[in-house]
Chain A
Amino acid sequence: MKITPEIIEQHNLTGDEYRRIAALLKRAPTFTELGIFSVMWSEHCSYKSSRIHLKRLPVEGDCLVQGPGENAGIVDIGDGWCAAFKIESHNHPSFIEPYQGAATGVGGILRDIFTMGARPVAALNSLRFGPVRDQDDSAEAAGSVIARNRRIMTGVVKGIGDYGNAFGVPTIGGEVVFADCYSLNPLVNAFALGLVRREQIFYGKAEGVGNAVIYVGAKTGRDGIHGATMASAEFDDAALEKRPTVQVGDPFAEKLLLEACLEAMRSGAIVGIQDMGAAGLTSSSCEMGARAGTGIEINLDLVPQRETGMTAYEMMLSESQERMLIVAERGRERQVHEIFARWDLDAVTIGRVTDDQKLRVVHKGEVVAEIPNSALTDEAPRYDRPQSSGNEAVHVDPAPYLNEICGRIAGEIGSSDLHDVLTECLRRLLASPNLACKQWVWKQYDHMVRTNTVVLPGADAAVIRVKETRRSLAVSLDGNGRYCSVDARAGARLAVVEAARNVVCSGARPLAVTNCLNFASPERPEVMRAFSETIDGMSDACRALGTPVTGGNVSFYNETEGRGVYPTPVVGMLGVIEDTRQITTPWFAEAGDRILLLGATGDDLGATEFLESLGGVVAGGVPELDLEDELAVQRTCLRAISAGLLRSAHDCSDGGLAVALAECCFSHYRRDSLGARLDLREHLDLSGIRAMADADRRMLALLFGETPGRIIVSAAPDRADAVMALAAQEGADCAVIGEVGGDRLSISLGAHTLIDERVDVLEKLWRESLPGHLDRAGLDER
């Protein structure tokens, strides 16, 4: 086939990039080679717009065994055990085909884990969708948008559930966030965690010239061709025509592949192994060769095929799922074949490791591609894309919106009494989709298989025990696109420290980070600037915490019809709990316990959930973060847990203190709800306030502001002083703010009651919100 400018454009390559390909090959590429370059040089595979920035992330730490560049990051968790973990996006496919898109996202990340030799023990996911409740229907966005968002969410959740449930990995947590900008750009970030003995780690390296290259797993079909290229472009109204680029998942095949791979790894016959994910056979073969400084030659005639008449181009670009490429010791091929046969899987030797550092592809007796590995990997283009200049952000004063919200609510409930208005604000916040209970989601996930789930979903961090040791692992996924849309650098820092705070609340020491960076088109300077700022913010916070970034994923072009997502970095924080008996949960435990607040509350109403959920606006600057204060609070919490002083610990973030307190009160498995009486007089300094309007605003900030670095803890009455003493030693603010008991949540400021409501009333609003919006959605669709 003659390569025309149209063909080059269809491959999402620029004229310059094409000339660079020809220069690297010292000739014009064949059609198959053009296809290979197009996927390997796609944004998705090459990180061409992000690479120069990603270098700034800290990648060093004592616990680090494997940093970025492999299929997953690995850290040492003690006793000879290591944790392999990574997060990856499957945003584009999940928009086009929600069920399969999300399912194969889970499949891909699980393979990234077990290709390292680790058995996956937990999955989490970070999901973002457009609004799903009717009242979010603005005039121009008709009900069809809401219905579509619900359909996407329902499909994504089912896809994640069906894949993970059948595979047998517990899906134990994550986050679900709603905002307008995700309406036609859902974000589906899948995280997986696996365990491996340190000496049994495998890498994606094609070592040993003459060794066998073995194809294992499912057969190759025409599905997912150009998936990586699709994921590297923005969508227009023809997006759904791209459905054939989405792969189809088979969790059963993946489960067999897992067991067979782990068995083959134990046999000692395997030298290197890599998942055929994005860009399938192409990326696995050239990357394994590149990492080992060798080459790989494969014969496509030998590749197990699901369809007849497949061309070399199709086979090299197929993203059929549940496949792996293995390099096995020469002479031990048969042993590997037998193991896979036992699991009824194909295993075929399709090539050899060579010494010429090239990827050579033979089909029907002809060499259809011969490309130096480096041309596909290190020599891929890198762009320092233009960024808009800084400081263009002008913060809108949130004050008028605050007045509008309170005034409107006062009108709607027919009372302008401060306590009535504030209590109604809390009710509405708890019922808002972003803050409401996410049980509708996690109930569809098997979150208990493998019997390690020692904290059920809904806590600050997901926690699993490591049966072989006395330790447990905690994971939290956190992102805040709204903050990042206002200030990417500050937002990224906040995401990192919040993720750390969440694992700390469970009793874990933060260990390392994986990140998923979801952005709109890098060709827009303001997006690129936000990206760069995000990297700097994340680096700051990770350095301060001493948590290296072990890898992750960048997803650009999350925009449809010119509308992009908020800059949405998602942080996956892994922490280790030294003693499983010390696991701490957010829920108040016993009447009479003292409630303490670690950290100070500032006037941080900007960019809050309060403004967005109740007022539909993003206004004001993001909350101020003082890293030293934050760390002091986290250290205090962790030391108090280790000393056995705490009965509960809960991060105070989205929705503010009042929402966090309500969550501490709610019922949990085998624990009824508990009330709490709080007086925030000790905590809030009213001295600077002159006018009543100031006071109202300070009360809103106190209840619903999102000052970071705060943790609500509870302790037996005779332990409260010890917690205070620890906080003083660490230099953290700390005050006793109330007592657990009764069946109401009542928050006062001296003689003024701010909030007073029965806990069961609040809990009902919180629990029934999402099912109310979503289960009806199913009926709409049928």
Chain B
Amino acid sequence: MKFGVVVFPGSNCDHDTYHVISKVLGQPVDFIWHKDERIDGYDAIILPGGFSYGDYLRTGAIARFSPVMRSVKGFAASGGLVLGICNGFQILCEAGLLPGTLLRNRDLKFICEHVNVRVERTDTPFTVSYRKGQVLSIPIAHGDGNYFCDIDTLRELESDGRIIFRYCDARGEATDAANPNGSLANIAGICNRERNVVGLMPHPERASESLLGSNDGRLLFLSLATSLSEMLKLRA
């Protein structure tokens, strides 16, 4: 199994994501340059956090046009696993791989802190190792994390079980007070219809070692590895 971490100009969580996959998970991983149009040989692609192209226009708005994104779309269409973290989530929304968009935070400030996130669905390749309803402590660090979509899309997300993570309080209640950025329905992460593309604002790679205070994010990467090895077994 092989992971690829895309490096856009301005990505700044690329090294962190690489570190978790290679050192914490012990899996093979490469950086993929944004100008690369061919991404053969990968089993999962991760779009890391950061400020791609500076994000001066609108988060992810330029990155969606970068050459590598054409291949990422093809990869996703063929069933490949794609994970977007923070800026990666924003890019996936801009690229149309996930519905909705990420607006400025409700209080207009950048927020960096640990938040509680409830696992809504364990039936994605990214969450199989979690328990449904499990409350995770994972940091967020963003200025534009306020998820928004139209009401029909929200209904569809709800009814299809595509809301994967919600902000919640320590007891797991998705209250408004526990919503750090004003996201619609406390949405912290969603998946596409086919469930092979997931985007989330919290940074699981920052919560994958107990030395850093929490390793609740590690299970996300572990889920990914477990799912991949199952998929590879089936293919073989």
Residues of A within 8 A of B (CB): 158, 161-162, 165-168, 250-253, 255-256, 343-344, 442-451, 453-454, 456, 465, 467, 580, 669-670, 775, 778
| Complex A-B: 28 CB contacts under 8 Å | A162-B110, A165-B51, A165-B112, A165-B141, A166-B50, A168-B12, A168-B51, A252-B9, A255-B12, A256-B10, A443-B109, A443-B111, A445-B112, A446-B141, A448-B141, A449-B12, A451-B16, A451-B20, A451-B208, A451-B212, A453-B212, A454-B211, A454-B212, A465-B211, A467-B19, A669-B213, A670-B137, A670-B214
Apart from the given pairs A252-B9, A445-B110, 7 other A-B contacts in the complex at a CB distance below 8 Å: A165-B112, A251-B54, A252-B53, A444-B110, A448-B141, A449-B49, A449-B141
Residue of B nearest to A345 (CB): B9
Q: Does A252 lie within 8 Å of B10, measured CB to CB?
A: yes
Q: Across the interface, name the chain B residue whose C-beta is closest to A169.
A: B12
Known pairs A343-B9, A448-B139, A450-B16; A669 contacts B212 (CB<8 A): no
**Does B114 sit within 8 A of A, measured CB to CB?**
yes
In the bound complex, what is the Cα–Cα distance between A449 and B16 (angstroms)? 8
Residues on the A chain within 8 Å of B111, using CB: 443-444
Is residue B230 contacting chain A, with contact meaning CB distance below 8 A? Answer: no
Q: Which of B9, B56, B205, B208 touches A256 (beta carbons < 8 Å)?
A: B9
Chain B nearest Cβ from A764, distance in angstroms: 15
Contact B203 A448 (CB under 8 A): yes
Give a binary string over B47-83; 1 marks a CB under 8 Å from any A CB, 0 the rest.
Answer: 0011101111000000000000000000000000000
Instruction: Kindly identify, within residues 185 to 236 of chain B, every residue whose CB is under 8 Å from any CB belonging to chain A.
Output: 203, 205-206, 208-209, 211-214
Known A166-B10, A446-B110: A252·B51 in contact at CB below 8 Å = yes
From B49, B56, B114, give the contact of A669 (CB < 8 A): B114
Task: Indicate if the CB atoms of B51 and A448 lie closer than 8 Å.
Answer: no
Residue numbers in A under 8 Å from B214 (CB-CB): 670
In the complex, per-residue mask of B84-116: 1 if CB is within 8 Å of any chain A CB, else 0: 000000000000000000000001111111100
Contacts of A442 in B (CB 8 A): 112
CB <8 Å contact, A252 and B206 = no
Interface residue B13 (Cβ < 8 Å from any Cβ of A) = yes
Give the chain B neighbours of A453 by CB distance below 8 A.
Answer: 212
CA distance A671 to B223 in the complex (A): 28
Residues of chain A contacted by B53 (CB below 8 angstroms): 252
Contact check, A670 vs B213: say whether CB atoms are below 8 A apart: yes
Q: How far is the CA of A444 from the CA of B108 in the complex (A)?
A: 10
Q: Mark B12-46, 1 if CB is under 8 A from A, else 0.
A: 11011001100000000000000000000000000
Bound complex: CA A442 to CA B13 (Å):
19
Whether B54 pairs with A448 at a CB distance below 8 angstroms is no
Q: How far is the CA of A689 from the CA of B199 in the complex (A)?
A: 68
Contact across chains for A456 and B213 when beta carbons are under 8 A apart: yes
Q: Judging by beta carbons under 8 Å apart, are B141 and A166 in contact?
A: no
Q: How many residues of B contact A (CB 8 A)?
A: 36
Smallest CB gap from B9: residue in A? A256
Contacts of B107 in A (CB 8 A): 775
Minimum distance in angstroms from A172 CB to a CB of chain B: 11
Binding site for A on B (CB under 8 A): 9-10, 12-13, 15-16, 19-20, 49-51, 53-56, 107-114, 137, 139, 141, 143, 203, 205-206, 208-209, 211-214
Verify A255–B9 contact, CB threshold 8 A: yes
**Bound Cα distance from A344 to B53, whole angstroms:** 11
Q: In the complex the two chains form, is B113's CB within 8 Å of A166's CB?
A: no
- A450–B203 alpha-carbon span in the complex (Å): 11
Q: How far is B205's CA from A446's CA once the two chains are assembled, in angstroms?
A: 14
Minimum CB–CB distance from A216 to chain B (whole Å) comes to 15
A194 to chain B, nearest CB (A): 14
Q: How far is A162 from B55 in the complex, measured between Cα atoms in Å?
A: 11
A167 touches B16 (CB 8 A): no
Chain B, residue nearest A171 (CB): B112
- Closest Cβ neighbor of B107 among chain A residues: A775
Q: How far is the CA of A669 from the CA of B115 in the complex (A)?
A: 10
Residue of B nearest to A162 (CB): B110
Which residue of chain B has the shortest Cβ distance to A445 in the bound complex?
A: B112
Residues of chain A contacted by B212 (CB below 8 angstroms): 448, 451, 453-454
Considering the complex of A and B, which 7 residue pairs feature the smallest CB-CB distances, nearest first? A168-B12, A252-B54, A166-B51, A446-B141, A451-B16, A446-B112, A444-B110
A449 to B203, CA, bound (A): 10
Q: CA A467 – CA B10 in complex, angstroms?
A: 22
Q: Looking at the assembled complex, report how far the CB atom of A463 sits from the nearest CB atom of chain B, in whole angstroms.
A: 11
Known contacts A447-B112, A669-B213; A252/B12 CB under 8 A: no
A255 near B10: Cβ-Cβ < 8 Å: yes
Q: How far is the CA of A446 from the CA of B214 in the complex (A)?
A: 17
From B49, which residue of chain A is reached at the shortest CB distance?
Answer: A449
CB distance from A758 to the nearest CB of B (A): 20
| Distance in angstroms between the alpha carbons of A600 and B206 in the assembled complex | 41
- Closest approach, in angstroms, between the C-beta of A140 and any C-beta of chain B? 33
Give, as a whole number of angstroms, the nearest-CB distance from B107 to chain A: 8
A165 — which chain B residues lie within 8 A by C-beta? 51, 110, 112, 141, 143
A584 to chain B, nearest CB (A): 14
In the complex, chain A residues whose CB is within 8 Å of the CB of B113: 443
**Judging by beta carbons under 8 Å apart, are A580 and B211 in contact?**
yes
B133 to chain A: closest CB distance in Å? Answer: 20
CA separation between A669 and B55, bound complex, in Å?
Answer: 30
| C-alpha gap A162/B49 in the complex (Å) | 15
Rounded to whole Å, the gap between the CB of A167 and the closest CB of chain B is 7
Residue of A344, A446, A450, A454 touching B9 (CB-CB under 8 A): A344
**Separation of A497 and B10 alpha carbons in the complex (Å):** 39
Contacts of B109 in A (CB 8 A): 158, 443-444
List residues of chain B with CB within 8 A of the CB of A252.
Answer: 9-10, 51, 53-56
On whether the beta carbons of B54 and A166 are closer than 8 Å, the reply is yes
- A343: chain B residues at CB < 8 Å are 9
Select from chain B the residue with minimum beta-carbon distance to A253. B54
Given contacts A250-B54, A251-B54, A252-B9, contact A451 B209 (CB under 8 A): yes
Q: How far is the CB of B233 from chain A (nearest CB, A)?
A: 31
Q: Which residues of A contact B213 (CB under 8 A)?
A: 456, 669-670
CB distance from A686 to the nearest CB of B (A): 43
**Cβ-defined contact, B112 with A450, below 8 A:** no
CA–CA, A580 and B208, complex, Å: 17
Closest CB in chain A relative to B57 CB, distance in Å: 11
Rounded to whole angstroms, the CA-CA distance of A465 and B212 in the bound complex is 10
A158 to B53, CA, bound (A): 20
| Nearest CB on B from A746, distance (A) | 28
Query: Nearest Cβ in chain A — how far from B63, in angstroms?
Result: 12
A contact residues around B9 at 8 Å (CB): 252, 255-256, 343-344
Q: Nearest CB to that of A250 among chain B residues?
A: B54
B residues less than 8 Å from A161 (CB atoms): 110
Contacts of A448 in B (CB 8 A): 112, 139, 141, 203, 206, 212
Task: Name the distance in Å between B144's Cβ and chain A's nearest Cβ.
Answer: 12
CB A76 to nearest CB in B, in angstroms, measures: 24
Beta-carbon nearest neighbor of A671 in chain B:
B213
* B45: min CB distance to chain A, Å: 20
Q: Give Cα A582–Cα B51 distance, bound, in whole angstroms.
A: 35
Contacts of A250 in B (CB 8 A): 54
Q: How far is the CA of A167 from the CA of B54 in the complex (A)?
A: 9
Residues of B with C-beta under 8 A to A444: 109-112
In whole angstroms, what is the CA distance A670 to B170 when docked? 10
* Distance A450 CA – B206 CA, assembled complex (angstroms): 8
Separation in Å of the A443 CB from the closest CB of chain B?
Answer: 6
* CB-defined contacts of A580 to chain B, threshold 8 Å: 211
- Rounded to whole angstroms, the CA-CA distance of A587 and B197 in the bound complex is 41
Question: Complex: how many Å from CA A162 to CA B141?
Answer: 12
